[in-house]
């Protein structure tokens, strides 16, 4: 079994073992599950030394699953998925540790769904067969619905069902598109059915078909991102979800949408992507600005962070749809950086929620005096999130703006306002929560971070700073894969130093310029 398969099936095996453990043995289950996630992270680090980053799919594993229908088991990792996989495995132990005390009921079920979720997410990032991808795509949905629905807040059922329905509508239409695509590919390849990503690439699909297929894919991914106006499930899901589920949802799950765009929607339907690009770019900008404005008026910290997620992922989307390598790299970097900051923010909110059982901004104030360590952490993460130079958020947003400026200065100008709004709502919230006089007696008695909480947050904060100071390792490894992916999407301006090995991909004729 290859490394990638091990990554996918390790959590699944862990989940099944958890299922067999006695439900009362909370401690044992926690230790075991944590060990599994740690092992998972360690295992994923083995990807780094052998990774070349030439834009091809490395560590590839290919096997026949259901041969008669051309369904294969094809995994591979490139510069795009590598860091998303690492992000997933990095967050897995951290988030699990953060839930050590806050999830005290039904620990067994929680651990089961948590590990199953890891399998689903890793599978979706690593799958290179459309059928396999779809299976994992749906598989990660179910545990998340349970995590929200069982351990969530008062309106958990509403949030869980809404999340499920939104995602299902999108993904089922994507299924039809996949089926149609495979049928079309079979026509081109002389009747040979294949769901393999490389077999469905570069088919000169007629434009009218491409538009419909792209729309189906785009809907599935845009719901996940989420792009305005499909975002309404997100605030509900985040507010009701328990802290660990929120952290995973914002940290990893949302990236599934942007990843899907870059991996599948853009290269598969180059003409349609270029046709729809202005619309999507505008929607991305609307997401950035609108979500920032809505975030500004929130009185609930968690909801504010949720809206900030929408805003940040708008940046990632905009980066991809600038059709420049630098912009797309910026988008990818924003995804990674947001994975760290959003997860950290949700965990931080969870810390004070555990103490006070409120998330209202107005209930806090002057916490900096009672919880200095916590406040420091929060401030660093906030600065990372708003894109202060030297922090991870800055690199991504800067590159996106550079790319956007090349495509259209108007985009860049509009998106830049989002950066400003972002700084405003985050810093305003920080001021109200952490500074000023201590207003309530309860706040005065709050204890600072425990050792466990500190250990949970430290890697995240370190990551945010490290990526901001030294982004090159990520950007270098990403560049060629991003360039290759854009090339497949028919972007010809790519200035790449290395001659890519021809993989038989045909490029669609030059897209109509809008």
Partner 1 sequence: MNPPLVTGDMLRAAIPFILLAAGGTVVSLAGAWRSKRGALFAALFLVLAFWKLFPLLDLEKGIELWDGAVVADRMSAFLGGMLLLSGLFALIVSPPVLRREGRNRAEYYGLILFSLSGMVLFVSTTNLLVLFLALELMSIPLYVLSGYNRGDDRSGEAALKYFLLGSFSSAILLYGAALLFGATGTINMAAMTGGDPLLATAGAFLVLTGFLFKMAAVPFHMWAPDVYDGAPTPITSFMATSVKIATFGALLRIFSLAGGAANPFAHILTGENAAKILPWLAVMTMTLGNVCALTQTNIKRMLAYSSIAHAGYLLLGLIPGSGAVDAKGILYYLFAYLLMTTGAFTVVIALSTRDKGREVTGVERYAGIGFRRPFLGIAMAVFLFSLAGIPPTAGFFGKYLLFSGAVHRGLTPLVVVAVLNSALSVYYYLRPVVVFYMRDTDTPVRVDDALSLRVASLAAVVLLIWFGCLPNIGSLPGVPALLHWVGSAAAALP
Residues that bind partner 1 (CB under 8 A): 23, 65-69, 106, 109, 131, 134-135, 138-139, 141-142, 145-146, 149-150, 156-157, 160-161, 164-165, 168-169, 172-173, 175-176, 179-180, 182-183
- Name the minimum Å distance from CB 437 to partner 1: 40
The β-bridge relationship of strands 58-66 and 71-77 is antiparallel
Closer by beta carbon to partner 1, 162 or else 312: 162
Say which DSSP state 65 is in.
E
Closer by beta carbon to partner 1, 42 or else 165: 165
Alpha helices in 46-155 (DSSP H): 47-50, 79-98, 107-126, 130-139, 141-151
- Name the minimum Å distance from CB 172 to partner 1: 4
Rounded to the nearest 5°, which phi and psi values hold at 230? -100, 20
- Name the minimum Å distance from CB 283 to partner 1: 22
- Name the minimum Å distance from CB 355 to partner 1: 24
C-alpha span between 192 and 182 (Å, rounded): 9
**Are 433 and 365 in contact, with CB atoms under 8 Å apart?**
yes
Closer by beta carbon to partner 1, 64 or else 410: 64
- Name the minimum Å distance from CB 169 to partner 1: 4
- Name the minimum Å distance from CB 161 to partner 1: 6
- Name the minimum Å distance from CB 264 to partner 1: 17
| C-alpha dihedral, 487 to 491 to 492 to 496, nearest 10° | -50
The tokens 């620990």 sit on which residue? 107
**Are 15 and 119 in contact, with CB atoms under 8 Å apart?**
yes
Question: Within a 10 A sphere around the Cβ of 455, how many other Cβ atoms?
Answer: 13
Closer by beta carbon to partner 1, 22 or else 502: 22
Closer by beta carbon to partner 1, 180 or else 428: 180
**Are 212 and 276 in contact, with CB atoms under 8 Å apart?**
no
Closer by beta carbon to partner 1, 179 or else 282: 179
Closer by beta carbon to partner 1, 66 or else 510: 66
DSSP-assigned beta bridge partners for residue 127? 75
Closest CA relative to residue 178, chosen from 150, 235, 138, 149: 138
Backbone CA torsion sign across 138, 317, 126, 455? negative
């Amino acid at each position: 079994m290859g490394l990638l398969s091990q990554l996918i099936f390790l959590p699944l095996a862990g989940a099944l073992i958890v299922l067999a453990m006695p439900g009362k043995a909370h401690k044992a289950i926690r230790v075991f599950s944590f060990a599994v996630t740690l092992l998972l992270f360690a295992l994923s680090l083995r990807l780094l030394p052998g990774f070349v980053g030439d834009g091809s799919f490395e560590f590839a594993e290919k096997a026949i699953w259901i041969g008669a229908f051309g369904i294969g088991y094809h995994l591979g990792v490139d510069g795009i998925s590598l860091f998303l996989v690492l992000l997933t495995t990095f967050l897995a132990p951290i988030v699990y540790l953060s839930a050590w005390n806050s999830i005290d009921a039904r620990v067994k079920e929680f651990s089961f769904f948590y590990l199953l979720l890891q399998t689903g997410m890793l599978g979706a990032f690593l799958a290179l067969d459309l059928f396999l991808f779809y299976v994992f795509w749906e598989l990660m949905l179910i545990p998340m619905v349970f995590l929200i629905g069982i351990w969530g807040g008062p309106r958990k059922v509403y949030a869980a069902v809404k999340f499920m329905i939104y995602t299902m509508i999108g993904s089922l239409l994507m299924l039809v598109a996949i089926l149609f695509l495979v049928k079309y590919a079979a026509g081109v390849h002389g009747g040979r059915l294949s769901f393999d990503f490389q077999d469905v690439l570069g088919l000169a699909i007629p434009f009218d078909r491409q538009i419909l297929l792209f729309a189906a894919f785009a809907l599935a991914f845009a719901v996940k991102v989420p792009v305005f106006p499909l975002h309404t499930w997100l605030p509900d899901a985040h507010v009701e979800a328990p802290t660990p589920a929120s952290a995973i949802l914002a940290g990893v799950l949302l990236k599934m949408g942007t990843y899907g765009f870059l991996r599948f929607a853009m290269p598969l339907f180059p003409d349609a992507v270029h046709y729809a690009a202005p619309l999507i770019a505008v929607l991305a900008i609307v997401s950035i600005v609108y979500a920032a404005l809505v975030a500004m008026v929130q009185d609930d910290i968690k909801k504010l962070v949720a809206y900030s997620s929408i805003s940040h992922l708008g940046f990632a989307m905009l980066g991809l749809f600038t059709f420049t390598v630098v912009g797309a790299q910026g988008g990818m970097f924003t995804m990674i950086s947001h994975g760290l900051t959003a997860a950290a923010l949700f965990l931080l909110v969870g810390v004070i929620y555990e103490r006070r059982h409120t998330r209202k901004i107005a209930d806090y104030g002057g916490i900096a005096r009672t919880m200095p360590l916590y406040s420091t952490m929060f401030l660093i993460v906030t600065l990372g999130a708003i894109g202060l130079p030297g922090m991870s958020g800055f690199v991504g947003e800067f590159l996106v703006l550079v790319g956007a400026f090349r495509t259209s200065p108007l985009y860049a100008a509009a998106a830049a306002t989002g950066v400003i709004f972002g700084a405003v709502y985050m810093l305003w919230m920080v001021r109200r929560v952490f500074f000023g006089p201590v207003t309530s007696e309860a706040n005065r008695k709050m204890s600072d971070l425990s050792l466990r909480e500190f250990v949970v947050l430290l890697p995240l904060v370190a990551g945010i700073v490290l990526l901001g100071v030294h982004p090159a390792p990520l950007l270098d490894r990403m560049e060629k894969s991003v360039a290759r992916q854009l090339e497949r999407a028919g972007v010809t301006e790519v200035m790449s130093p290395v001659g890519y090995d021809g993989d038989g991909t045909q490029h669609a004729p030059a897209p109509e310029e809008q």
